[in-house]
């Protein structure tokens, strides 16, 4: 029993919640007359007759993957090209009533997939993942820029290139930033040995590796659950479900890898020559990612905008949850690109979306993209300085037509509405709007019960909500019925009506994540939370690269103070293969960690980091490694006391109804 408890100390990151259950989509409704009219307004507002984006998205097409699926070595589907066939791209299918026509247009554009020639010497594979993989011709081979999310997709892209352009070796690899969909497939194009030996240079921005392996660790469970909403992971791909992620089609599901760069770029203006090709770098840390750069390739007069420059308004605060980004810094980074390369670039490409050609069009796009982020930033602060609150500001800030009517500034991923709130959060903190009545509010359930009682009871509120629904006031219906649901989550009538209203909001949403959030909320209100199997998010490379202190910090957020009350423990941890020592101290119901040993410890754990990694990956067990004499523990009862204080996080926690503690 003691050994089993001790195992959880090392396997805590790998806890997977799963349950059997069948998702029921039979309760989905058609679009109402109000939703149809709302979507018709978008068609009248924007110039859907302009087909230039479709021409550019198809420009330079060479070939696509010969099969309808990309499979892993075990035959599992990594990417299914057919799952979005309902979009009818080649037939120019009109948007259905259940999808915002602007989002439908964006979804069709992102569905155009294959290998494309960007310009002489640059090729791109698009539509195989959320992002693209780009190949630049060097003197002796191919330089790869961003490797998509999975090994299988990156490998498929490289095979397509070798088959249809030139069968040459990989001579360099570049990751523009520290998000998984830009480096996860790296081992599909290059080996660890080739990078380590210097045969193939791997270039990334400063702090890339640290940010990549540490991102989302401490808050990862909540972020993961919210991401299931943001990307619609429980929704079907059809006209009433997922049509697009906003930034791309979807995320491929396969093998994630990472390697440590052989060279990091630290400052703007730094130049590197890779396989005979010069790259001029422009740092953009702290914009879309904590570690990010853009660059210019003089030989090809091509600029790579990383994920700073996109054909959509991006997120200043992402709905899945992340540290709020800096809209002002974002706009200034784009402005630097304009000043340094706006008059030089003849093509701009990026790891999402299709390229833009022509110096005049590129400069116009960059300036308007820059000004969109700057406008959102400046107007939020202008109104905040006049005393307006985040919700008020989000209703008041509207982009001017010169910015708003450009498709590349539309809110397919981020939105003006939630980005203004993010800017407010950056300066003031989003938890409070400055009104003392909101300083010490009741918790949601207690407040909801009082609201419902004051409004005459559940039946009265629902009847009034029905009247609002019949008027197309879906935002209000969702808001007011949320009180009934949190007061009494078993009220089926309230759940069904709120789900119907959320669904209509989803059908109206131009943002892919907003659509997914509303439709997922409707699904869970109608059917409850179905705890599906969740994959282990930790790849071998991520585990190997995870700093030990980061892992120990994660353990600290799992400490339940009531269980830890009165405990005073010091535990030393020795990794003999690395000759590294660590320790944790539990006192005052707080767990602190150190990269040194404590004097007079209560317990000591001696093992190798390799053994530690294998246990996290479930390749072995704690009991087996003790039996094999690979782990030594003194006074295990004290370690068990520490482990006994740790909470296990449930992945499928409630979002649209109360969580029962």
479 and 572 in a single domain? The answer is no
User: Is 511 within a domain?
Assistant: yes
Residue 561 has pLDDT above 70, yes or no: yes
455 and 599 in a single domain? The answer is no
Residue that the structure tokens 């994540």 belong to: 513
Percent residues over pLDDT 70 in the chain: 96
Q: What is the pLDDT of residue 227?
A: 93
Average pLDDT over residues 636-641: 92
pLDDT 10s digits, 294-305: 999 999 999 999
Q: What is the pLDDT of residue 371?
A: 98
Q: What is the pLDDT of residue 10?
A: 41
User: Is 179 within a domain?
Assistant: yes
Q: What is the pLDDT of residue 1?
A: 38
138 and 173 in a single domain? The answer is yes
Q: Check residues 618 and 237 and name the one with the higher pLDDT.
A: 237
Q: What is the pLDDT of residue 217?
A: 79
273 and 316 in a single domain? The answer is yes
Average pLDDT over residues 39-45: 97
Q: What is the pLDDT of residue 545?
A: 81
CATH of the domain at 552: 3.30.1050.10
User: Is 432 within a domain?
Assistant: no
User: Is 604 within a domain?
Assistant: yes
Q: What's the helix, strand, coil split of the chain in %, to 5?
A: 45, 15, 40
Q: What is the pLDDT of residue 310?
A: 97
Taking the C-alpha atoms of residue 242 and residue 233, their distance in angstroms, rounded to an integer, is: 9
71 to 21, 54, 75: CA distances (angstroms): 26, 29, 5
The model's confidence at residue 538, banded by pLDDT at 50, 70 and 90, is low
Average pLDDT over residues 222-233: 94
User: Is 307 within a domain?
Assistant: yes
User: Is 394 within a domain?
Assistant: no
Q: What is the pLDDT of residue 13?
A: 35
Residue 22 has pLDDT above 80, yes or no: no
86 and 137 in a single domain? The answer is yes
Residue that finishes a domain, picked among 527, 545, 578: 527
Q: What is the pLDDT of residue 322?
A: 87
Residue that finishes a domain, picked among 527, 553, 574: 527
Residue that finishes a domain, picked among 497, 527, 557: 527
Q: What is the pLDDT of residue 622?
A: 78
User: pTM for this one?
Assistant: 0.94
Q: What is the pLDDT of residue 537?
A: 58
Q: What is the pLDDT of residue 20?
A: 34
The model's confidence at residue 536, banded by pLDDT at 50, 70 and 90, is low
Beta-strand pair 202-205/170-174:
parallel
CATH of the domain at 200: 3.60.15.30
User: Is 46 within a domain?
Assistant: no
Average pLDDT over residues 329-353: 97
Least confident piece of the model among 365-379, 555-569, 614-628:
614-628
Q: Check residues 559 and 322 and name the one with the higher pLDDT.
A: 559
Cβ–Cβ under 8 Å, residues 237 and 84: yes
Helices 458-470 and 492-508: crossing angle in degrees, nearest 10, is 30
Q: What is the pLDDT of residue 535?
A: 61
Residue 6 has pLDDT above 70, yes or no: no
595 and 503 in a single domain? The answer is no
492 and 541 in a single domain? The answer is no
254 to 129, 179, 208, 209, 572: CA distances (angstroms): 11, 16, 22, 21, 37
564 and 471 in a single domain? The answer is no
636 and 523 in a single domain? The answer is no
Average pLDDT over residues 624-652: 92
Cβ–Cβ under 8 Å, residues 391 and 487: no
The model's confidence at residue 7, banded by pLDDT at 50, 70 and 90, is very low
pLDDT 10s digits, 253-294: 999 999 999 999 999 999 999 999 999 999 999 999 999 999
544 and 512 in a single domain? The answer is no
Query: Which ranges of 15-83 does DSSP label H, i.e. alpha helix?
Result: 33-45, 52-58
Residue 3 has pLDDT above 90, yes or no: no
Cβ–Cβ under 8 Å, residues 311 and 225: no
Q: What is the pLDDT of residue 2?
A: 38
Average pLDDT over residues 79-97: 96
Average pLDDT over residues 66-81: 95
Residue 242 has pLDDT above 60, yes or no: yes
User: Taking all residues of the chain, what is their mean pLDDT, rounded to a whole number?
Assistant: 94
Domain hosting residue 219, numbered range: 59-377
Residue that the structure tokens 């998984």 belong to: 180
Q: Is 573 helix (H, G, I), strand (E, B) or coil?
A: strand
Residue 225 has pLDDT above 70, yes or no: yes
Average pLDDT over residues 468-486: 98
CATH of the domain at 489: 1.25.40.880
The model's confidence at residue 661, banded by pLDDT at 50, 70 and 90, is low
Percent residues over pLDDT 90 in the chain: 87
The model's confidence at residue 543, banded by pLDDT at 50, 70 and 90, is confident
pLDDT 10s digits, 384-401: 999 999 999 999 999 999
Beta-strand pair 170-174/142-147:
parallel
Q: What is the pLDDT of residue 542?
A: 79
Average pLDDT over residues 208-237: 89
Taking the C-alpha atoms of residue 567 and residue 587, their distance in angstroms, rounded to an integer, is: 6
Cβ–Cβ under 8 Å, residues 130 and 251: yes
Average pLDDT over residues 142-164: 98
Residue 18 has pLDDT above 70, yes or no: no
The candidate with the shortest Cα–Cα distance to 508, out of 542, 547, 478, is 478
User: Is 409 within a domain?
Assistant: no
Q: Indicate the number of domains in the chain.
A: 3
213 and 300 in a single domain? The answer is yes
Q: What is the pLDDT of residue 651?
A: 92
Q: Is 433 helix (H, G, I), strand (E, B) or coil?
A: coil
77 to 219, 231, 278: CA distances (angstroms): 29, 18, 38
543 and 520 in a single domain? The answer is no
The 3-class SS string of 284-349 reads CCCCCCCCEEEEEEHHHCEEECCCCCCCCCCCCCCCCCCCCCCHHHHHHHHHHHHHHHCCCCCEEE
């Amino acid at each position: 029993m003691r050994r089993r408890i001790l195992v959880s100390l090392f396997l805590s990151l790998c806890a997977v919640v799963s349950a059997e259950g069948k998702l029921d989509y039979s309760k989905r409704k058609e679009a109402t007359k109000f939703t149809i009219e709302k979507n018709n307004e978008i068609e009248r507002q924007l110039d859907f007759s302009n087909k230039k984006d479709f021409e550019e998205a198809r420009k330079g097409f060479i070939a696509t993957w010969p099969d309808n699926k990309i499979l892993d070595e075990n035959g599992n589907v990594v990417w299914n090209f057919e799952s979005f066939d309902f979009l009818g791209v080649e037939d120019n299918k009109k948007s259905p009533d259940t999808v915002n026509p602007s989002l439908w247009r964006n979804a069709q554009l992102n569905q155009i997939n294959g290998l494309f020639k960007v310009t002489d010497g640059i090729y791109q594979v698009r539509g195989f993942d959320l992002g693209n993989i780009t190949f630049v011709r060097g003197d002796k081979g191919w330089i790869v820029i961003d490797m998509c999310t999975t090994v299988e997709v990156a490998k498929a892209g490289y095979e397509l290139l070798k088959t249809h352009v030139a069968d040459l070796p990989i001579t360099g690899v570049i990751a523009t930033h520290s998000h998984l969909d830009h480096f996860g497939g790296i081992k599909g194009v290059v080996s660890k040995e080739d990078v380590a030996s210097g045969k193939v240079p791997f270039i990334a921005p400063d702090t890339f590796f640290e940010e990549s392996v540490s991102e989302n660790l401490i808050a990862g469970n909540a972020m993961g659950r919210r991401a299931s909403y943001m990307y619609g992971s429980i929704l079907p791909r059809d006209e009433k479900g997922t049509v697009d992620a906003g930034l791309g089609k979807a995320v491929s599901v396969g093998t994630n890898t990472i390697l440590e760069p052989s060279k990091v770029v630290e400052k703007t203006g730094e130049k590197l020559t890779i396989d005979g090709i010069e790259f001029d770098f422009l740092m953009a840390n702290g914009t879309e990612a904590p570690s990010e750069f853009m660059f210019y390739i003089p030989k090809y007069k091509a600029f790579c905008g990383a994920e700073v420059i996109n054909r959509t308004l991006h997120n200043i605060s992402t709905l899945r949850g992340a540290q709020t980004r800096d809209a002002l810094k974002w706009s200034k980074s784009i402005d630097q690109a304009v000043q340094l390369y706006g008059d030089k670039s003849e093509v701009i490409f990026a790891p999402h979306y299709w390229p833009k050609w022509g110096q005049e069009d590129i400069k116009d796009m960059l300036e308007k993209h820059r000004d969109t982020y700057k406008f959102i930033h400046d107007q939020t602060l202008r109104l905040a300085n006049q005393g307006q609150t985040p919700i008020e500001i989000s209703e008041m800030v509207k982009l001017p037509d010169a910015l708003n009517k450009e498709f590349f500034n539309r809110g397919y991923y981020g939105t003006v509405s939630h980005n203004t709130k993010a800017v407010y959060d950056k300066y003031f903190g989003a938890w409070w709007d400055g009104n003392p009545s909101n300083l010490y509010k009741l918790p949601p359930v207690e407040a909801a019960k009082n609201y419902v009682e004051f409004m005459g009871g559940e039946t009265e509120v629902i009847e009034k909500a029905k009247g609002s629904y019949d008027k197309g006031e879906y935002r209000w219906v969702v808001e007011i019925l949320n009180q009934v649901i949190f007061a009494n989550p078993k009220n089926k009538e309230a759940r069904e009506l709120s789900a119907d209203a959320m669904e209509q909001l989803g059908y109206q949403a131009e943002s892919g994540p907003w659509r997914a959030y509303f439709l997922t909320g409707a699904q869970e209100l109608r059917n409850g939370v179905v705890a599906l199997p969740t994959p282990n998010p930790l790849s071998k490379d991520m585990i190997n690269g995870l700093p030990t202190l980061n892992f120990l910090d994660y353990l600290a957020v799992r400490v339940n103070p009531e269980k830890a009350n009165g405990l005073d423990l010091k535990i030393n941890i020795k990794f003999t293969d690395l000759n590294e020592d660590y320790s944790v101290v539990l006192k005052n119901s707080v767990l602190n960690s150190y990269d040194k040993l404590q004097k007079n410890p209560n317990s000591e754990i001696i093992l190798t980091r390799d053994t530690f990694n294998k246990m996290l990956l479930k390749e072995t067990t704690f009991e087996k490694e003790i039996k094999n004499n690979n782990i030594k523990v003194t006074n295990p009862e004290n370690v068990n006391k520490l482990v006994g204080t740790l909470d296990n996080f449930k992945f499928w926690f409630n979002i649209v109804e109360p969580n029962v503690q």
